[in-house]
Every structure is written in C-alpha cells, then in structure tokens.
C-alpha cells in the first residue's frame, strides 16, 4: 500500500495555514468598530464554538462523549491557552502591527520545546539549541534591538508578544494528556466551549450587542470564526491525518508569511531590511524544531 501523501494532502495543510494567516483582515474591521482585543477574543471564541458544536452535532455526535475528569484539561487549554494567547496576540496587533504580532507568536515552538523538556523530559538537542538562538536573534531584529537599538518597540508590547507565544505553546502541554482518548475535533470543540464561557463572564461583549447592527461586524465575526478558526482547523487537521506532525508544522510556517504579506499589502505595515531578516530567522527556527521532531518520528 502506498503510504506517501499526495499533493492534495500538502495543499490542504497549506490551505489551513493560509486561513490562519488571514486573521488580520477579519480583526481590523472589528477594531474599527470600537471592539477591544478582549472583545475580539470573545467574538472568536463564541462564534467558533457555535460553528464547531454544530459540526459535531450534525456529523460527529458520537465524539461528544467525554470523561468528566478530562474537562480540567479542556478548561485549562480553553482559558489559559486559547483565551490568553488570542488576547496577547490581538493586543500586540492593535498596538503595533500584524507582522510583529505573528513573528513574536512564532516563538511558540521554542516554548513547546522548553515546556516539553520540563514536563515530558524530552531531550534538548544541539538542533534545538540553534533554533533557540536563531529565534532570539530574529526577534531582536524584528523589534529593533538589533542592530544597535535601531528601533524601539515598547517593552509592554514586546512582553505581551512573548506571552502570546508562551500561551500558544501551553496548548500542547494541556491537551497532550487527552490526545490519545479523543479526536482533535473533540478537543478543540471543548476547549472553545470553556473559552466561550470564560469570555462571556469576563468580557463586555454582551454590552456591545448594538454594534452587531452593522453588517460589516457580522461579516468580520463570521469570517474570523469560519475561515481563520474552523476552516483553518479542519483543513490543517485533515492534512495532519496523513502527514507526520513535524512535516505539517513546517508547512504551517506559511501562516506568518501570509500574515506579514497581508499586513504590508492591506494594513499598511512597514518592514525594514533587518526586520525581514529577523522574520526569516524566526521562521527558520520553527522549521529546525519541527524538522528535528520529524526526523525523530521517522527513526521511531
């Protein structure tokens, strides 16, 4: 039997990453209508959960069954990973640029490496060490610390960007214990359930219902949920079913490339030569980390 994935599998995986990369186009109109970053997190969480639960109810109802004690993992991932990661990511975007936000977010694979070493005793290899060095250097170029403090990014913005990468990475740590018991769709649906509950309790989204009288708010909210969340997840996961996780992760680095290009073309982001170099270094560090896992998988 031929076990090699076809071109369609690669295209699905890439398409999922592209959908994630489009997120800036759907967030910007919401900011223009006066929604805060925390409001946008609520919109993404609530709308995405509604879409996911409808898909589950219609096509995968049998996968909704879970063990009660596993909901601590779903809740932790939904609140500490998804809600906070989205908030820090969106806040950096609102304060600076999409290019900076997505670059700092892509420090996530390195946090996964560090956290996996702490919690799952995965080895820290020379390859991972180089990846860490490239990522730190790349971020220094992007935020202007190199060369010689050529630009100045507010420390608060920088800190939130790094936190977005950390929270993004924590999703893997929280969900790993339940990945053998449930499908990725089940895990994602329940994590968004807790994201939605948390955001309904902590955001002012219900007090801003009047803003939904504008058609562009509905369009942006639906596209944010359908394209940059549900479709992105379904396409990427469909590809992941036939690809090694490492190879899929490498293909997913198309996401920040798409986001940066959209930021420059449509959102008036400005990139200088050193920042382009920094973005390239961060992307290469993610490829090094994913490539190392891919080689380990092949050996196993």
For residue 201, pLDDT over 90 is answered with yes
Tell me the mean pLDDT in the region 180-208.
Answer: 93
The answer to the question of residue 101 being in a domain is yes
For residue 8, pLDDT over 50 is answered with yes
pLDDT band at 241, cuts 50/70/90? low
Return the pLDDT at 242: 72
The answer to the question of residue 1 being in a domain is no
Q: What are phi and psi of 177, to 5 degrees?
A: -60, -20
For residue 128, pLDDT over 90 is answered with no
What percent of the chain is modeled with pLDDT above 90? 38
The answer to the question of residue 2 being in a domain is no
Query: Is there a contact between 204 and 211 (Cβ–Cβ < 8 Å)?
Result: no
For residue 197, pLDDT over 60 is answered with yes
Return the pLDDT at 245: 56
The answer to the question of residue 175 being in a domain is yes
pLDDT band at 244, cuts 50/70/90? low
Burial of 29 (0-12, 13-18, 19+ CB in 10 A): middle
Output DSSP code: residue 180: T
For residue 280, pLDDT over 80 is answered with yes
Return the pLDDT at 281: 85
Total of domains in the chain: 1
What is the value of pTM for the model shown?
Answer: 0.80
The answer to the question of residue 279 being in a domain is yes
36-76 per-position pLDDT tens digit: 999 999 999 999 999 999 999 999 999 999 999 999 999 99
Alpha-carbon distances of 101 from 142, 165, 219, 262, rounded to whole Å: 10, 10, 23, 13
The answer to the question of residue 152 being in a domain is yes
The answer to the question of residue 179 being in a domain is yes
Considering only CA atoms, give the Rg of the chain.
19
- Where is mean pLDDT largest: 171-185, 228-242, 285-299? 171-185
Selected residue with higher pLDDT from 240 and 270: 270
pLDDT band at 299, cuts 50/70/90? very low
Return the pLDDT at 32: 94
Cβ burial 213-222 (10 Å sphere, 16+ → b, else e): eeeebeebbe
The answer to the question of residue 222 being in a domain is yes
Structural domain boundaries enclosing 23: 7-299
Tell me the mean pLDDT in the region 265-270.
Answer: 84
What percent of the chain is modeled with pLDDT above 70? 85
Q: What is the dihedral of CA 21, 27, 28, 29, to 10 degrees?
A: 130
139-188 per-position pLDDT tens digit: 777 766 677 655 667 888 888 988 998 898 888 788 888 888 988 889 98
Selected residue with higher pLDDT from 239 and 35: 35
17-40 per-position pLDDT tens digit: 889 889 989 999 999 999 999 999
Q: Return mean pLDDT, the chain.
A: 83
Return the pLDDT at 1: 41
């Amino acid at each position: 039997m031929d076990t090699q994935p076809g071109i369609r599998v690669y295209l699905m995986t890439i398409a999922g990453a592209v959908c994630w990369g489009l997120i800036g186009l759907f967030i910007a109109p919401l900011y223009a209508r006066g929604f805060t970053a925390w409001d946008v997190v609520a919109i993404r969480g609530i709308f995405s959960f509604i879409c996911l639960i409808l898909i589950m109810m219609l096509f995968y109802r049998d996968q909704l069954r879970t063990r009660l004690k596993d909901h601590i993992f779903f809740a932790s991932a939904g609140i500490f990973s998804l809600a906070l990661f989205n908030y820090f990511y969106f806040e950096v975007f609102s304060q600076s640029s999409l290019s900076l936000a997505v670059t700092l977010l892509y420090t996530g694979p390195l946090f996964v490496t560090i956290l996996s070493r702490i919690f799952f005793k995965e080895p820290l290899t020379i390859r991972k060490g180089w990846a860490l060095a490239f990522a730190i250097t790349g971020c220094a170029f992007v935020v202007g610390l190199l060369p010689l403090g050529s630009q100045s990014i507010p420390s608060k913005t920088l800190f939130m960007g790094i936190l977005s990468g950390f929270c993004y990475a924590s999703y893997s740590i929280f969900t790993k214990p339940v990945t053998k018991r449930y499908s990725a769709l089940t895990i994602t649906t329940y994590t968004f359930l807790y994201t939605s509950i948390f955001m309904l309790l902590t955001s002012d989204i219900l007090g801003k219902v009047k803003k939904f009288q504008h058609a562009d708010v509905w369009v942006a909210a639906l596209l944010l949920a359908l394209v940059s969340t549900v479709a992105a997840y379904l396409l990427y996961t469909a590809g992941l079913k036939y690809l090694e996780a490492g190879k899929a992760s490498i293909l997913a680095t198309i996401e920040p490339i798409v986001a940066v290009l959209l930021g420059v073309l449509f959102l008036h982001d400005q990139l200088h030569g050193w920042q382009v170099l920094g973005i390239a270094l961060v992307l290469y560090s993610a490829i090094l980390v994913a490539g190392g896992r891919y080689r380990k998988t092949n050996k196993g």
